Chains A and B, each alone.
Chain A
């Protein structure tokens, strides 16, 4: 039995009332003025499970906050932004499948948000084939090395090569010139080994010993006796579930007398510095992509960023002080989404047929001033290598807090171009 659809006077008044209410809402009113009210769909390739899950959780929170801020500011080209999140399991095979899903199933305008390098490299071919702009937030050197394609860009976070080499002048001038490096024996660690060794030698220093730790290792005490006695600086970087054990065992090994210790915060990302066993880190130095603890000279942009994401002045969740954020990396999601917004607005992006114009617009970007859109600091984007460059921070642990002691210049992070993606056809 079918029912005739009749519009009664009462339901008409209801509809008109609801419509007026909607149009009266300031945000929706702004969107309604756009040519097309359909949302811009951004596929968010999230590490919700697998080894990257701790990062994925915070990348998710930052992404949500950034989209809320962008939408409150009128969206992109007057259209609201919608995030379509898919878990890639921190796996390159699933990552590639997820990119195809964004392009062909969800009809996303762009894909975004991948952190782990192997997932980026595994997914990039799909992005190139599907011709969907793929904005990664990975800090890997894979984009700038020229190994990927024109559809893959990294405009919101600096790469490991520039980070590592920018550390060498400070280490050589302030901590010592005889360095021993301890790093995981896979690609991420090898990047540190190769780039830092070259950079410290350029500063007149030397690496006495490279200690590579196999990825399956769960105890590290047997590696520490390999550290030469005349080491002035111990450079450490470790990732994965065993990082806390690594740092604790390092403390037990050295006791009160240790060389200067310089580490990448990756070793302790999402880990509370006041965890038992980490007391020995007092007085040691860390690279930080973005200072976890609010500093004395905190910018209003960092303040706004923390408030938007829900991070307190210690870098932990405002709702749970034990839930420490991945503060050194997650700003990359915020900044990348703002770059996507700027690129779409500069190119007058309307839909997937404008994807090439979007990439050209991002390639044309250069200076990105420190602002609410770029709270980590000023940046310079290199359109040829699809990689952004920016300031790096060195912090010292003082009273259980990371206190910024040095900020590099952007120039410290430069290296010669290794690729020109703009010469590749679409």
Chain B
């Protein structure tokens, strides 16, 4: 079997396993998995830029929140139905990521991190400032009755799970396909050696710009899906810790791996969920687990598996 065929089997197999899990898991874990899939979609978006292109953004929460607000405000203020509102969420994130890309890509390295962080802070404060429409830090609820798609109630647990799985699968397959295409290879080339890629005649700026837009749009898609599936939109999602979360998930799962974001998001979710059941000082347990992982699995969980046992892992 070729590497590409193996990776197709892996991704379709993963989706099949998730379908089965969605059908057999108890309600609580089914609900958790739906959330994890949406968050993993956000991490997949982040991974396109960080894991594959080598650009570390510390402001991705603004893209997630742009999708969330684009979709949520269209439903809340303009009474749009779910599908066009989701489209508005994607368009908002794409437009914002294009603007940020044009400006932030004038910088590299640490400066790129700081500029993206500053843009995200500006976005966060703007969301608070425009509280009359955005609800500021309190946010707003999208009424349960409005969250319907083609006659299906997205508030019904199984429907919501499959909607989340659909969003995740599209993002997963899209990025997996993209990274097998010449475009993806060039992104990896930029990550490995930007100068050499430029010397070979590739337009590095254009590729990096597209990477930011694709990454931001996928992240925004996750934000829009979160608004529709879980019914809440608020400025917390634009705050700095929501820029750090996808970095953490990707590092834990394995940067530059297709399934790493899912593994990282699921690992963190359940680490917090179980540790908080044991003690109120659960952040200590979480911190210790992260330190151990950093010490003994520097490439992340999937990255370490690839390094040690399965070198073909995409």
> Is the CB of B282 closer than 8 A to any CB of chain A?
yes
Contact with A100, one of B28, B136, B235 (Cβ below 8 angstroms): B28
Query: Is A125 in contact with B230, judged by CB distance below 8 angstroms?
Result: yes
**Given A92-B236, A125-B232, A187-B136, A214–B125 Cβ distance below 8 Å?**
yes
Q: A185-B129, A187-B137 are in contact. Are A122 and B32 (CB under 8 A)?
A: no
Q: Which of A124, A185, A187, A188 has the most CB of B within 10 A?
A: A187
Determine the chain A residues whose CB is within 8 A of the CB of B84 once the complex forms.
none
Q: If A104-B28, A128-B144 touch, does A92 touch B232 (CB 8 Å cutoff)?
A: yes
| Complex Cα–Cα for A142 and B138 (A) | 9
Interface size on A, residues (CB 8 A): 36
Q: With the chains together, A130 CA to B115 CA distance in Å?
A: 41
Please provide the 7 A-B residue pairs with the shortest distance between their CB atoms, ordered closest to farther.
A125-B231, A104-B28, A187-B136, A187-B138, A105-B28, A186-B137, A104-B27
Q: Does B230 contact A126, Cβ atoms closer than 8 Å?
A: yes
Contact of A186 among B136, B155, B237, B282 (CB under 8 A): B136
* Extra 9 A-B pairs, beta carbons < 8 Å, given A49-B283, A126-B230, A129-B155: A86-B277, A100-B28, A100-B31, A121-B234, A125-B230, A148-B141, A186-B136, A187-B136, A216-B125
Please, which residues of chain B bring their CB within 8 A of the CB of A173?
none
A-B contact pairs, 29 of them (CB 8 A): A92-B236, A93-B236, A96-B232, A97-B35, A100-B31, A100-B32, A101-B28, A104-B27, A118-B138, A118-B139, A121-B138, A121-B139, A121-B140, A121-B141, A121-B232, A122-B236, A125-B232, A140-B138, A142-B138, A148-B141, A149-B141, A185-B128, A187-B135, A188-B138, A190-B131, A214-B125, A215-B128, A215-B137, A216-B121
CB proximity of A153 to chain B, nearest CB, Å: 15
| A91 sits at the interface (CB 8 A) | yes
Q: Is B107 an interface residue (CB 8 A)?
A: no
Q: B-facing mask of A110-126, CB < 8 A → 1, else 0?
A: 00000001100110111
The reply to whether the CB of A147 lies closer than 8 angstroms to some CB of chain B is: yes
Q: In the assembled complex, how far is the CB of residue A133 from the closest CB belonging to chain B, in whole angstroms?
A: 16
Nearest residue, chain A, Cβ from B127? A186
| Nearest CB in chain A: distance from B27 CB, A | 5
| Residues of chain A lying within 8 A (CB to CB) of residue B128 | 185-186, 214-215
Bound form: Cα–Cα A126–B138 in Å: 16
Instruction: Check B32–A97 contact: CB distance below 8 A.
Output: yes
User: Is A48 an interface position by the 8 A CB rule?
Assistant: yes
A232 at interface, CB cutoff 8 A: no
Return the CB mask of B268-283 against A: 1 if under 8 Å, else 0: 0000110011001011
Instruction: Determine if B230 and A147 form an interchain contact, defined as CB atoms under 8 angstroms apart.
Output: no
- Cα separation A53 to B121 with both chains bound (whole Å): 24
Query: A323 contacts the other chain (Cβ, under 8 Å)?
Result: no
B26: interface (CB < 8 Å): yes
List, in ascending order, chain B residues with CB within 8 A of A188's CB: 137-138
A91 to chain B, nearest CB (A): 6
Enumerate chain B residues within 8 angstroms of A86, measured Cβ to Cβ: 276-277
Q: Which residues of B contact A128 (CB under 8 A)?
A: 144
Given contacts A86-B276, A92-B232, A186-B128, contact A122 B31 (CB under 8 A): no
Q: B177 to chain A: closest CB distance in Å?
A: 30
B236-A147 in contact (CB<8A):
no
- Whether A129 and B144, one on each chain, are in contact in the complex, defined by CB atoms closer than 8 angstroms, is yes
Within 8 Å CB of B235, what residues of A? 118, 186
**Nearest CB of chain A from residue B183's CB, rounded to whole Å:** 33
Most buried by A among B230, B235, B282: B230
Complex CA distance for A104 and B276, rounded to whole angstroms: 17
Cβ-defined contact, A118 with B141, below 8 A: no
Q: Judge if A87 is at the interface, Cβ distance under 8 Å.
A: yes
Would you give the shortest CB distance from A4 to chain B, in whole angstroms?
Answer: 36
Q: Are A91 and B131 in contact (CB under 8 A)?
A: no
CA distance A215 to B125 in the complex (A): 8
Looking across the interface, which residue of chain B has its beta carbon closest to that of A216?
A: B125
Flag if B144 contacts A122 (CB, 8 Å).
Answer: no
Q: What residue in chain A is nearest B121 (Cβ atoms)? A: A216
Indicate whether A96 sits within 8 Å of B137 (C-beta atoms), given known contacts A87-B282, A104-B31, A186-B128.
no
B140 touching A147 by the CB < 8 A rule?
yes
Are A96 and B234 touching (Cβ within 8 A)?
Answer: no
A80 CA / B129 CA spacing, docked (Å): 47
Nearest chain A CB to B64's CB is how many angstroms away? 11
Chain B residues within 8 Å of A105, by CB: 28
Contacts of A100 in B (CB 8 A): 28, 31-32
Residue of A nearest to B125 (CB): A214
| B-side contacts of A48, CB under 8 Å | 280
Docked pose: A129 CA to B31 CA in angstroms: 11
Nearest chain B CB to A241 CB, angstrom units: 15
Cα-based distance from A91 to B232 in the complex (angstroms): 12
Distance in Å from the Cβ of A296 to the closest Cβ of chain B?
Answer: 38
Render B90-128 as a binary contact track against A, CB cut-off 8 A, 1 for contact. 000000000000000000000000000000010001001
Give the shortest distance, in Å, between A295 (CB) and chain B (any CB): 33
Inter-chain contacts of B32 with A (CB < 8 A)? 97, 100
Shortest CB–CB separation between residue B312 and chain A, in angstroms? 35
Instruction: Give the docked Cα–Cα distance between A87 and B140 (Å).
Output: 22
Measured CB to CB, the closest approach of chain A to B20, in angstroms, equals: 20
Mask, A147-172, CB within 8 Å of B = 1, is 11100000000000000000000000
Task: Across the interface, name the chain A residue whose C-beta is closest to B242.
Answer: A93
User: Considering the complex, which residues of chain B in the window 127-180 have a beta carbon less than 8 Å from any beta carbon of chain A?
Assistant: 128-129, 131, 135-144, 155
| Bound-state Cα–Cα, A128 to B142, Å | 12
Question: Interface 1/0s, chain A 25-43, versus B by CB < 8 A?
Answer: 0000000000000000000
Question: Which residues of the partner chain B approach A97 to less than 8 Å between Cβ atoms?
Answer: 32, 35, 273
Q: Quick one: which of B234-249 are within 8 Å of A by CB?
A: 234-237
Residue ID in chain B nearest A117 by CB atoms: B138
Measured between beta carbons, the chain B residues less than 8 angstroms from A215 are: 125, 128, 137
Which chain A positions have C-beta within 8 A of B283? Answer: 49
Give the residue of A49, A96, A117 whose beta carbon is less than 8 angstroms from that of B230: A96
By beta carbon, the residue of chain B nearest A106 is: B28
B300 to chain A, nearest CB (A): 23
A:172-212 near B, CB below 8 Å: 185-188, 190
Distance in angstroms between the alpha carbons of A147 and B138 in the assembled complex: 11
Which one of B35, B137, B272 has the highest number of Cβ atoms from chain A below 10 Å of its Cβ? B137
Residues of A within 8 A of B31 (CB): 100, 104
**In the bound complex, CA of A122 to CA of B128 (Å):** 16
**Interchain CB contact under 8 A, B131 and A186:** yes
Is A92's CB under 8 angstroms from B139's CB?
A: yes
Residue of chain B at shortest CB distance from A152: B141
A125 and B136 within 8 A (CB): no
Complex-state Cα separation, A104 to B140, whole angstroms? 24
CB distance B230 to A190 under 8 Å?
Answer: no
Which of B135, B237, B282 contacts A93 (CB under 8 A)? Answer: B237
